[in-house]
Chains A and B, each alone.
Chain A
Amino acid sequence: MAERIVVCGSIHAHRVVVPAARVDVIGEQHDAEREGVYITDVASVLRVSPPPGPRRALRVVAGDAARWLVMGDSISVRTLPAEAFGGFPEWLTGVSASLPFSGLVALDGVFAIELDLTRLVSSEVP
């Protein structure tokens, strides 16, 4: 059975995943701030308020570019069957077209949003 490994972060009720192969560091928000490369707060991508307290972060790479993504209070690495990955329902493609989302992933009875790292990392928004 084909499987994919993802790094999963949560912010409030939302979960997001990115392919583990694109993640080179899992750390804390202060690691991201200390390094000084572009930082994207995933809370702002999801248009929710930043959660309080210490936050986890991960550094993703796309080509020569790197960017830290600040998540919520937890990050986990999961191995999921390939069938868990799907696109956005046709009725919601207006949402995925305007935001860097590439699909939905079935995870523990709910869905996580798969981030489109190519769009996220290439965007000018720090």
Chain B
Amino acid sequence: MSLAREQYSRSPETLLVGLARNGDRGAYAELVRRRQAWLRNLMLRFCGDRTLADDLAQMAFLQGWQNIRHLQSRGRFGAWLKRIAINAWLQYLRKKDPLRHADEHSGDEGAQHETTGIGMDLDRALATLPGDVRMCIVLSYYEGMNHREISESTDLPLGTVKSHIRRGTKRLRELLSAYTTPTGEEAIT
């Protein structure tokens, strides 16, 4: 590990964001290193395909690099990046409209990555949901965002977000009944 990289790895994120805003490539690389697992997981939950998730995450990081000069608050890098990622996903959904509708009906072919167990079953279940519903569910359960935050991030009306989450939760509970118990106790081991 080079000295510069060691210094970057010890630096707080706000400092790295400040450096990256001034065009410091190494600082941005460190930001990518720190945020990549989170963003790739988020994208994986959105799309259920590991390769596509990586491509979308890369696209989000690229857009981040191009626009980081416009980031107002250094402390909000994560939220800002999440917004970019959501837009990248929405853009993808709009471009791949036929696929989006295919998702609503198929389901089993959505989860294409090679992981097993909970992750695969969850992605398979998520793949049966329409793109917008899946996104709301992921932002709610994976990101812990409330309805208002989701509505603001996705530009969907609040009522739509609520109904998407209600509908998606019901569907996921049905599909993942093996992992859940009717009484509310977790069946995950």
Partners in one complex: no
B residues sitting closer than 8 Å to A (CB atoms) are none
Residues of A within 8 A of B (CB): none
